[in-house]
Amino acid sequence: MKLQAVELRRVRMSLVAPFETSFGVQTERDILLLKAATSEGEGWGECVAAEEPTYSSEYVDAAEHVLIHHLLPRLFAEPRLEAADVARSLRPVHGHNMAKAAIEMAVLDAELRARGESFGHYFGAVRPAVDCGVSVGIQASIPALMQTVGDYLDQGYRRIKLKIKPGWDIEPVRAVRERFGDVPLQVDANTAYAASDARHLAELDAFGLLLIEQPLPEDQVLAHAELARVVRTPICLDESITSEQAAADAIRLGACQIINIKPGRVGGYLEGRRIHDLCAAHGIAVWMGGMLETGLGRAGNVAMAAMPNFTLPGDTSASDRYYRRDITEPFVLDEGRLRVPAGPGLGVTVDEAFLKEITHRTRTVEAGRSGQALS
């Protein structure tokens, strides 16, 4: 397969409600989508980088730039390209995992569509549908939180995740536990705490949480190992896990009992599979994270979440959790689960008319005769 051209499309999608984390409040997404044209067909990719470099050092403008000027020229220069070759070809470019993941996803989608194979089959899915959790942002008040959590449980979500930060942690968790009983519950700090907060975080042990996700900054893996000796609640790492090697180091240090796999954060679905396999070999549970994906990213995530070691409900929420209208056929909860797409590649179809409505910029980059990018 030869990569011939890539369309980079920027779209704006409003969220159904503001989503607040310890990083700030998000009301819409400025999304970079890729459509790869190859000698065997087309494939779609989605870049999960946000508009601002708050979750990580990556952001969407930089992702578009590095793709055009550094990543795509290397891939165009390959005489033959399969998805398994992308990471090797792009290794000389340091970082930019989210941009790399987006083009790997597009190449993989094209490859699998061409041979009529679904993402689920390719990744060895062992279940036709996956249990869904939902991420609940920081709310304006406890009553507002009760209403929001109650609504999600009524919709059938099988696990609740609360975003927390200093000043919004113990009391919200207590309120949810008292109101909703033994509902599966976990919290996500998005790096908001310091090692000196260990005793305070240990107060969360009283609420029987599934896990506390990324309480400390991403570069403090050893501090997470030390925290794990103070708190009884299992520690889950998110931002700290950027590769299979990072996961291996964290496991060896005893810094986590659980890992959240986000394909965009780790450089792509293939690296996500390697982390899944590593964790399975070491008895570390994994679950699928979310980055407010459209139906494209959601399709890939749901397929990967059907692999054997994804034993906890993920943030693979239905389309209407974030968007009034998706760019693909919507993912709809069925008794708290989402079905794994069965069609070739990602198994979803892009709504081209709607996509055109929400597009604010498009650029196509083609392979030149010597392999360089021509736009």
CA–CA distance, 127 with 292 (Å, rounded to integer): 23
> In DSSP terms, which residues pair with 287 in a beta bridge?
260
Nearest Cα neighbor of 254 from 221, 220, 214, 219 is 221
The answer to whether the beta carbons of residues 2 and 361 sit under 8 Å apart is no
User: Which one of the listed residues 35, 161, 163, 165 is annotated catalytic?
Assistant: 163
Q: For residue 78, give both structure tokens.
A: 């390959």
User: Which one of the listed residues 35, 100, 161, 262 is annotated catalytic?
Assistant: 262
Order the strands of the 185-188 sheet from edge to edge.
Answer: 133-136, 159-163, 185-188, 212-213, 235-237, 258-261, 285-288
Q: Print burial letters for 90-123: b (CB count within 10 Å at least 16), e (below 16).
A: beeeeebbbbbbbbbbbbbbbbbbbeeebbbebb
235-237 and 212-213 beta bridge pairing? parallel
Catalytic residue check, 262: yes
State the CB neighbour count (10 A cutoff) for residue 375: 12
Amino acid making up residue 238: D
Catalytic residue check, 2: no
Output phi, psi for 323, to 5 deg.
-130, 140
Active-site positions read 163, 262
